[in-house]
Chains A and B, each alone.
Chain A
Amino acid sequence: MNDQSNDMPNLGITDHLGRRDLIKVGAGVGLTALMAAPMPSWAASEKPIKIGMVDPITSIFAALGHSEIKGAKFAEEEINKKGGIMGRPLQLLVEDGAGNPGTTVTKAQRLVTRDKVDFLMGTVNSASSLALSQYAARQNKLFLCTGGHVDSVTGASCSWNTFRTCSTTWMLTSGDFETLFKKFGKKWYFITTDYAFGESEQADYTKQLKAAGGTVVGGALAPVGTTDFSSYLIDVKAKKPDVLCLLLAGDDQVNCMKQIAQFGIDKKIAVGGALMELELLQALPEAARYGWWTMEWYWNQPKTPHVAEFVSAYKAKYKGQYPSARSWFGYASVHAIKLAVEKAKSTDTIKVVRAMEGLVLPPEIALQPGAPEYRAADHQLILSMFPGHAIPTGKYPNLFDVSAIVPGSQLALPASATGCKMKYPA
């Protein structure tokens, strides 16, 4: 992730070489570095517009963080090739938040004070999103949350400076609730990750389940990093639910799905849940790839314009890797900031915030049917959802079958019901 890996001459060579040789080597290295650097097409006096991105490069959220960063870098390159933002180059600075709220804020601090970034974006897990949202508000910076789903980011804890590209847990759960309920039954059991994201998902499903006349027969909160799910699964078997709803995150979801398959539970009870990611399906062997889930974006959209071009360009840049929903979050977020700056004709925080309110992503950025918009009232992007089921025998990247693309406006709570009361600084 470090782009400044200029080869330094080994200092040990001074023992054997004279001063002149050292200078030659040094000059040579310097020259090569110059040649290798992309030739900027703008005047040297143009100050870059800087976006600071804090995303997990390590920790259990690393796989998702890496995808978001790849998507964001792809957008950075695309924008700079076409002349930057208002004639100024765009610079993306990436730091590792390690999925930890404290580290995330420390790294954001560094980006703001040392690198003087104009905007902040990133985060995968909800706890980090909430922490960074608060920090950015104090620093008077716009924060575009790429991947933390908890409702409160654009709900009860919404903030004038914070926008969100990924969906809310409410949208995730309502994306496939009907399918699971109608297809498989009324008695549900939850295995939920024990932090904000999972609890928010479970609350949202429970609300919809009760309204539809179903019952929750059991539930267990599993701490992040749980390796052995056997004890939870024994309880599942005893309670005999119709639907086993998995609300875990990252690697935990993979662990649990593999064990469910080994216990043979997926053969008797319908397994499903809210969020599924291409990165997770990739990590599952055939026998453990099952269930009904919701994706927030999928690469295979034969009927949507621009998607095929995006996918093939992304694949060319990243050695055959397909873009995931996370890649799209990073990509769309960088472009959204660009569009908002151009609309505001300024990088001033409050002006860009006002420009982003109601901003509609154009088709070549949205890469989905409809016109997703950053809703002015709560700053939530109203994106489509892609419910469907995993393909057990599929080969990468054909791992998921999208049954329908549901417009976000049908799924999202109305802004008045999210609990968001936006307060702007005087």
Chain B
Amino acid sequence: MVLLLFNAFNGLIQGAFYALMALGLALILGLNATINFAHGAFMALAAYFAFTIFPYTGFWGALIIAPLLAAGVGFVVETTMVRRLYTRKDPIYTLLLTFGLALILQDMIRTIWGAQGQPLAIPAMLNHPLSNTYFFVTGYRLFVVGVALVSTGALFAVLRFSRIGIRIRAGNSDLETIAALGVNIYLLRTINFMIGILFAGVAGILAAGQLGLNPNMGDSLIMPAFVAIVVGGVGSLLGSLLGGLIIGLASGIVTTFAPAASEVVIYVIMGVMLVVRPRGLLGQEGLFE
């Protein structure tokens, strides 16, 4: 019973991390109408940026600067490539573009930084368990949850109270109308894409602190993020947050009884969700239905 509680709690921590990854993906999926398969590659790229500037800025500086650098790359990618495909209704074009981009970015990382992993150290104050009993609540994991909460809160505040945020939300529900009202939707979409990549960057650096830093790190992280979106509901940021927590919790609980099934269970949940309620928990009606 104690073990079950441990695992459930542990699952929630993991879920917060999934949610952080899913948020950036959900933002881009919303306003840019792009299923960004290169999201994982952007995570890795930001983490490598962090690794490179680490000697000059330290961990905390890198955590702020590296995602901005990645967002800069995102700016170039959006304005030169993704933008050209907005007029094509079929999502297959952006899917293929970002899929190819993911492979190119990954190989670029391999060429620049080498195929072997790199050691990204985290501050010593975060690198130990906080309690002997609840040893899985390590300083670092608590920090990850904290960052997830703060950045999610900041994102929701921006979307709710700032002019640009209100426009992003308006664009999500009716792009044509706000274009007719004189909003520069190209600029709006570029900014939105960059915010999405910024989130990918933060998630990537946090992941590299906990896992290894290697060119393939995005591959294994991006799937739970996609699942979180599908479960939570396409088009709803709150849904993505919820989706991340649910799959984290589910995989934690299942681990207690069958550790080998802990990865499978999140796909089972996604499958069941797609059959029973294709639009996800909080998804907009009509999408996928």
Alpha-carbon distance between A259 and B259 when the two chains are bound, in angstroms: 17
Q: CB of B87 within 8 A of chain A?
A: no
CB-CB contacts of B111-133 with A at 8 A, as 1s and 0s? 00011111111101001110000
- Whether B117 pairs with A282 at a CB distance below 8 angstroms is yes
> Which residues of B (1-25) have their CB < 8 Å from a CB of A?
3, 6-7, 10-11, 13-14
A residues 179-225 touching B (CB-CB < 8 Å): 194, 220-221, 223, 225
Q: Which residues of B contact A221 (CB under 8 A)?
A: 259-260
| Contact (Cβ within 8 A) B115 A264 | no
When distances are taken between beta carbons in the complex, the residues of chain B under 8 Å from A227 are 207, 211, 220-221
Mark interface residues in B230-269 (1 if CB within 8 Å of A CB, else 0): 0000000000000000000001100100011011000000
Least Cβ distance of B72 to chain A in Å?
26
Closest CB in chain B relative to A107 CB, distance in Å:
17
Say which size band chain B's interface belongs to. 35 or more
Least CB distance from B17 to A in Å reads 8
* A220 with B260, Cβ < 8 A, contacts A225-B220, A258-B210, A280-B117 known: yes
Instruction: For chain B, residues 94 to 146, give those with C-beta under 8 angstroms from any C-beta of chain A.
Output: 106-107, 110, 114-122, 124, 127-129, 135-136, 138-141
User: Is A62 touching B115 in the complex (CB atoms < 8 A)?
Assistant: yes
* Cross-chain contact A63 with B117 (CB below 8 angstroms): yes
| Contact call B213/A230, Cβ cutoff below 8 A | no
Q: In the complex, what residue of chain B is closest to A224 when comparing beta carbons?
A: B220
Q: Using a CB-CB cutoff of 8 Å, which residues 49-86 of chain A contact chain B?
A: 57-60, 62-63, 65-67
Contact A258 B255 (CB under 8 A): no
- Give the complex CA separation of A65 and B3 in angstroms: 40
Q: Does A254 contact B (CB under 8 A)?
A: yes
Write out, one digit per residue, whether chain B residues 206-225 have a CB within 8 A of any chain A CB (1) or not (0).
Answer: 01001111111101110000
B3 touches A234 (CB 8 A): yes
Quick check: is A401 within 8 A (CB to CB) of the other chain?
no
Q: Is B262 touching A231 in the complex (CB atoms < 8 A)? A: yes
**Complex formed: what's the CA distance from A287 to B122 in Å?**
9
Q: What is the distance, in angstroms, from A399's C-beta to the closest C-beta of chain B? A: 10
Other-chain residue from A66, A259, A261, A263 in contact with B115 (beta carbon distance below 8 A): A66
Q: Which residue of chain A lies nearest to B128 when distances are taken between CB atoms in the complex?
A: A264
User: Are A234 and B10 neighbours in the complex by a CB distance under 8 Å?
Assistant: yes
A231-B121 in contact given A58-B107, A261-B127, A262-B210 (Cβ < 8 Å): no
Known: A66-B116, A283-B118. A263 touches B136 (CB 8 A): yes
**Docked complex Cα distance between A360 and B252 (Å):** 53
Q: Is A137 an interface residue (CB 8 A)?
A: no
Closest Cβ neighbor of A66 among chain B residues:
B115
CA distance A328 to B216 in the complex (A): 25
Provided the pairs A223-B263, A254-B211 are in contact, do residues A228 and B14 lie with their beta carbons within 8 angstroms?
A: yes
Does A251 contact B260, Cβ atoms closer than 8 Å? no
Contact A258-B220, Cβ < 8 Å, known A62-B115, A285-B121 = no
Residue on A with the closest CB to B133? A237
A308 in contact (CB, < 8 A): no
CA distance A261 to B263 in the complex (A): 23
CB distance from B135 to the nearest CB of A (A): 6
B132, chain A: closest CB distance, angstroms: 9
A400 to chain B, nearest CB (A): 15
Contacts of B219 in A (CB 8 A): 225
Cβ–Cβ contact A251 & B117, under 8 A: yes
Contact A283 B14 (CB under 8 A): no
Query: Would B127 and A60 count as touching, CB distance under 8 A?
Result: no
A264 and B271 alpha carbons, distance in the complex (Å)? 37
- 20 sample A-B contacts, Cβ–Cβ < 8 Å, listed by A number: A58-B107, A62-B115, A62-B216, A63-B114, A66-B116, A223-B260, A225-B219, A225-B220, A231-B262, A234-B7, A255-B210, A258-B211, A259-B210, A262-B129, A264-B135, A283-B118, A283-B119, A283-B212, A285-B119, A285-B121
Q: Which residues of B contact A (CB under 8 A)?
A: 3, 6-7, 10-11, 13-14, 106-107, 110, 114-122, 124, 127-129, 135-136, 138-141, 207, 210-217, 219-221, 251-252, 255, 259-260, 262-263
18 new A-B contacts, CB < 8 A, other than A231-B7, A231-B251, A234-B136, are A58-B106, A60-B216, A62-B110, A66-B115, A226-B263, A230-B10, A231-B11, A234-B3, A251-B117, A251-B217, A255-B211, A262-B127, A262-B141, A262-B210, A264-B135, A280-B117, A285-B121, A287-B121
Binding site for B on A (CB under 8 A): 57-60, 62-63, 65-67, 194, 220-221, 223, 225-228, 230-235, 237-238, 251, 254-255, 258-259, 261-265, 279-280, 282-287
Among all A-B residue pairs, the 9 with the closest Cβ atoms: A283-B117, A254-B212, A231-B255, A63-B116, A285-B121, A285-B119, A62-B115, A255-B211, A63-B115
